[in-house]
A and B are shown apart, each in its own frame.
Chain A
Amino acid sequence: MRISVSGIRGEVPHALNVEIVSKLSSAFASYLEEGRIALCRDSRPSSHMFKMASLSSLMAVGVGGDDFGLLPTPFLQFLIARKKYKGGISFSGGHSPYTWNAVLLLDADGAYLEASEGSEVFNIFESADFKKVTWKRLGKVLKKEFPLELYFHELSRLVNLKRIKDSHFKIVADPCNGAFSKYLKYFGDYFNLTLISINDDPSKPFPHLPEPNRKNASQVEAVVRATDSDLGFLLNSDGSRISFVDEKGNGLSEEMTLPLCLLSLNNKIKKAVTTVVSSSLSNWVADKTGISLVRTRVGQSSVVHMMEAENAEAGGEGSGSIALKSFSQGYDALLSLVLILDLLAGEDKKLTDIIQPFPIRHMRKIKVEVPPEKTYRIMDRLEEIYANEKPDFIDGIRIDRDKAWFNIRPSLTEFIIRLTIESEQQEIIRAIEEEIRERILV
């Protein structure tokens, strides 16, 4: 189980179960004290159950719940600020496996809870000092329909809708039987797309891990080739991450999503936030487009709240996500998709042509198992070893070299250390990996 500032994630039922969800909901509602919050869920078998446990807990605290049912988390984040909810909860495991889940706590802006707010909720959680109201003051729960028209209207205003419509794109969609499946048709019609969808039944299990990346793209790749489509895409289960497949049927790394979005936002934004482990391709695009790029800790909460602090218009991560401050305070895969469509329509080019000038970057993400009692000693030692290479300690240790960079950070959930290495050459990556492994295992 992972307890983070903005919620809990874990395998059901061993790490995450109704008891914990109910307590967390009581704590969150007690923290908010009153008012109404908005709720949604993804298509996992446990999501509905957690929502039921949560609604009961909200009612008992005297907080009302507007239940939007099966809905992508970014849609809920979009709505929370506009409809002045006090907060929100999404029961969505995102990129985690089918039998995992997560409880995502959202603030009044629709953003993931910020660290200090989150810790306040967890203090109430631990003390179990929940607010209680009498039968007369119990919160009320209402079933709600999401205002799709409002969402798509505002989304389309960010781009040149006519240009996209006129392009008559043919697109292959793989929502991974997740929450977005239900809204595909509306989306396709709105942007005048020919949508060929696979894995679009939210009542079925996930066809593959819900991580949008090259590894999971083989079905989309095949369908793009077979149907001669302009583009393919894969989503995670709650529509917050996306990766693409080009018109030749080659899956792109999820690390390509953010740089492509930044390219599309050229001239529209001045500053963007990303993390210390996102690909340097974003720097390359930022340099080309004159966007200044700020790096922060890993995770949606850090990025979105850094956008606020730095007054940056956009933020995103290498996992395939972007948020646009003027639109909503959460990662939204559909936003990425629409930005890419805008890019294709505007340049009147194929995706491979747009990517062609990008420098080659290889990235390797590795987990090294270490005994938990040794983790911090290892990190101390690495800190000493790399002291003269101008280490950056924003999140773990990051070293920038001439033709490569790497980041080393301990996991909060598993007994592992995560290595991220990026370089233009595979041999350099291999050499760095060997170097670090040796230093960890001494």
Chain B
Amino acid sequence: MRISDLKISISGIRGIVGKSLTPQLLIKFSEAFSSYISGDRIAIATDTRPSGEMVKHAVIAGIQSCGGSPLDLGILPIPSLQIFTSEKKIDGAISITASHNPVQWNALKLIKKGGFFLFPFEAEELLDFYYQGKFRRTGFPKEVKRVDDPFAPHKGKILNFIDLDRIKKRRPKVVIDPCGGAAAPYVKAFLEELGAEVKCINCKIAGDFPRNPEPIPENIQDLCRTVISSGADIGFAQDADADRLAAVDEKGFPLGEEYTLALAACSFLRYKQKSPIVVNLSTSRVMEDIAEKEGVALFRSKVGEINVTRLMIDKKAKFGGEGNGGIIASDIHTCRDSFTGMALLLEFLARSRKSVSELRAELPSYYMVKSKKRASYREGKRILNQIRQEFHGGKLNTQDGLRIEFPDFWFHLRLSNTEPIVRIQVESSLKQTAVEIFDHVSNLISE
């Protein structure tokens, strides 16, 4: 089977520049969005990929073509764009970012009124507009406006939310690695305003990314070393659009994105509010332990930010997230936000008077294996069924692929909507168990 690198789906449009992601496609997609949403003010922001300018020009033309009034926010993290959209009552927004994907990729992510991603049924309607070319083109396009300091609404909300005095008193030493991404122009000054002493690595915006943008431990070794060499209290790594966060402890040991979320949850529940929490089906079991200890309910949603935020709204949960380092506090905005994550962790350090490694040590340890295997959608479905038979007796959840939970381990298998792969995730308190189950399951898929 031939698989295109172009992915047009309910999450937007994604492709490789110079191959599938052409100006013509980008214009058409933006025309569809501008035609679909009600209202005309549409904000646009990019991450720092060199292709951002090419994409942005096409997006602006597409928005203008169908009567939209484009607001060019320049380079801006995606949570800041969502918050700007919500605070300034903008009708919609397009984020130009391929998030954690390598530099040759780019993508459009679509945001509606209130700063939320389109719900799946809305995105499907939009795709109808796109495929059928239902464009409301106008003979009187509107002008483009530029906005000064688009980060201000985001920063303002966090400064009001966090206990600044405590952090300023503690004056933590922080190393930040925004990966030369959308946070780079803002994050150092932001952390300084929180009261930290800040050292920034990969803060320059220059062509290719200085590292793979996904903030997983193997990609953030520079950060770990810098934390040790500069004697910092904590290190933070962001991805290219700054929705995901991973922390490093004072010994230069990466917590992993799962435990970064876990510590942010502890901080929130302890110092902000006892509220139900929502995480996705792939997120570590440590979240259940935290919820139990703090006496709050935990709900699990399908994977994907929009699914977490929708369930948070339904369950009136003030905190949520995803195990990939996506931290959500709805007092700031119901979106994944690395800036909120950093603020919560710094407040945790200040108020607990403990070190990051000590805080981490207070949580039970789990071992997680994440990987993916190539399989067509048909094969994938067959294998999932087979595995389901084999692991009968466990607690079954089929909301999003197959998740089966036993007392000493759980695994989650998902078929991708956009690629011929199965994502596998296994977690156990024992490394050996996790690895054994993982090997067993992935062998079944390989056959």
A141 touches B57 (CB 8 A): yes
A12 at interface by CB-CB < 8 Å: yes
A19 touches B141 (CB 8 A): no
* Highest count of chain B CB atoms <10 Å: which of A18, A55, A99: A18
Taking A56-B54, A135-B103 as contacts, is the C-beta distance between A23 and B24 under 8 angstroms?
yes
What 1/0 flags go to B21-53 for Cβ under 8 Å of A?
Answer: 011101110010000000000000000011101
A22 touches B23 (CB 8 A): yes
Contact among A13, A56, A136, A138 for B27, CB-based, below 8 A: A56
B18 at interface by CB-CB < 8 Å: yes
Contact among A12, A14, A18, A60 for B61, CB-based, below 8 A: A18
Taking A26-B24, A56-B55, A99-B139 as contacts, is the C-beta distance between A135 and B49 under 8 angstroms?
yes
B51 touches A18 (CB 8 A): no
Q: Size band of the B side of the interface?
A: 35 or more
B61 touches A59 (CB 8 A): no
B64 touches A48 (CB 8 A): yes
What 1/0 flags go to A137-160 for Cβ under 8 Å of B?
Answer: 111010000000000000000000
B138 at interface by CB-CB < 8 Å: yes
B65 touches A22 (CB 8 A): no
Taking A13-B138, A48-B141 as contacts, is the C-beta distance between A18 and B62 under 8 angstroms?
yes
CB distance from B129 to the nearest CB of A (A): 14
Contact among B19, B27, B53, B142 for A18, CB-based, below 8 A: B27
The majority secondary structure among interface residues of chain A is helix
Taking A60-B54, A138-B51 as contacts, is the C-beta distance between A22 and B24 under 8 angstroms?
yes
B61 touches A53 (CB 8 A): yes
A45 touches B18 (CB 8 A): no
Give Cα distance in the complex from A222 to B193, angstroms: 63
A26 touches B23 (CB 8 A): yes
A49 touches B64 (CB 8 A): yes
Chain A residue numbers with a CB within 8 Å of B143 are: 48
Chain A stretch 115-142: residues in CB contact (< 8 A) with chain B? 130, 132-139, 141
Q: Return the chain B residue nearest A52 by Cβ.
A: B61
Chain A stretch 1-60: residues in CB contact (< 8 A) with chain B? 11-14, 17-19, 21-23, 26, 45-46, 48-50, 52-53, 55-57, 59-60
Contact among A18, A57, A132 for B65, CB-based, below 8 A: A18
CB distance from A317 to the nearest CB of B (A): 28
B58 touches A56 (CB 8 A): yes
B171 at interface by CB-CB < 8 Å: no
Give Cα distance in the complex from A21 to B137, angstroms: 14
B141 touches A49 (CB 8 A): yes
What 1/0 flags go to B107-143 for Cβ under 8 Å of A?
Answer: 0000000000000000000000000000001111111
Taking A45-B139, A45-B140, A48-B141 as contacts, is the C-beta distance between A135 and B23 under 8 angstroms?
no
Contact among B18, B57, B139, B141 for A55, CB-based, below 8 A: B57
Chain A residue numbers with a CB within 8 Å of B64 are: 18, 48-49, 52
Give Cα distance in the complex from A289 to B65, angstroms: 51
B139 touches A53 (CB 8 A): no
B144 at interface by CB-CB < 8 Å: yes
B103 touches A56 (CB 8 A): no
Chain A residue numbers with a CB within 8 Å of B61 are: 18, 21-22, 49-50, 52-53, 56
A-B contact count (CB 8 A): 111
CB distance from B181 to the nearest CB of A (A): 15
Give Cα distance in the complex from A158 to B24, angstroms: 44
Chain A stretch 44-99: residues in CB contact (< 8 A) with chain B? 45-46, 48-50, 52-53, 55-57, 59-60, 99
Residues of A in contact, count (CB < 8 Å)? 34
Give Cα distance in the complex from A99 to B103, angstroms: 40
B24 touches A17 (CB 8 A): no
B57 touches A52 (CB 8 A): yes
CB distance from B307 to the nearest CB of A (A): 31
B139 touches A135 (CB 8 A): no
B224 at interface by CB-CB < 8 Å: no
Chain B residue numbers with a CB within 8 Å of A22 are: 23-24, 27, 58, 61
B179 at interface by CB-CB < 8 Å: no
Taking A23-B24, A135-B50 as contacts, is the C-beta distance between A17 and B137 under 8 angstroms?
yes
Q: Return the chain B residue nearest A61 by Cβ.
A: B23
Contact among B17, B56, B141 for A46, CB-based, below 8 A: B141
Q: Return the chain A residue nearest B25 by Cβ.
A: A22
Q: Return the chain B residue nearest A101 by Cβ.
A: B139
Chain A stretch 224-246: residues in CB contact (< 8 A) with chain B? none
Chain A residue numbers with a CB within 8 Å of B31 are: 18-19
Q: Return the chain B residue nearest A138 by Cβ.
A: B54
A13 touches B57 (CB 8 A): no
Taking A26-B24, A99-B139 as contacts, is the C-beta distance between A138 and B17 under 8 angstroms?
yes
Chain A residue numbers with a CB within 8 Å of B139 are: 11-13, 45-46, 99
What 1/0 flags go to B67-110 for Cβ under 8 Å of A?
Answer: 00000000000000000000000000000000000011000000
A49 touches B24 (CB 8 A): no
Taking A22-B27, A99-B140 as contacts, is the C-beta distance between A52 and B54 under 8 angstroms?
no
CB distance from B135 to the nearest CB of A (A): 8
Q: Can you pick out 7 interface pairs between chain A and chain B where the beta carbons lie within 8 Å of each other?
A: A14-B137, A46-B140, A49-B65, A53-B57, A53-B61, A132-B18, A134-B18
> Given A53-B57, A135-B17, A139-B54, list of 9 further CB < 8 A pairs?
A17-B65, A17-B137, A45-B139, A48-B144, A49-B60, A56-B55, A60-B23, A135-B50, A138-B18
Give the B-binding residues of A (Cβ under 8 A). Answer: 11-14, 17-19, 21-23, 26, 45-46, 48-50, 52-53, 55-57, 59-60, 99, 130, 132-139, 141
Closest 8 CB pairs of A and B: A13-B137, A53-B61, A56-B57, A56-B58, A49-B64, A134-B18, A99-B139, A59-B54
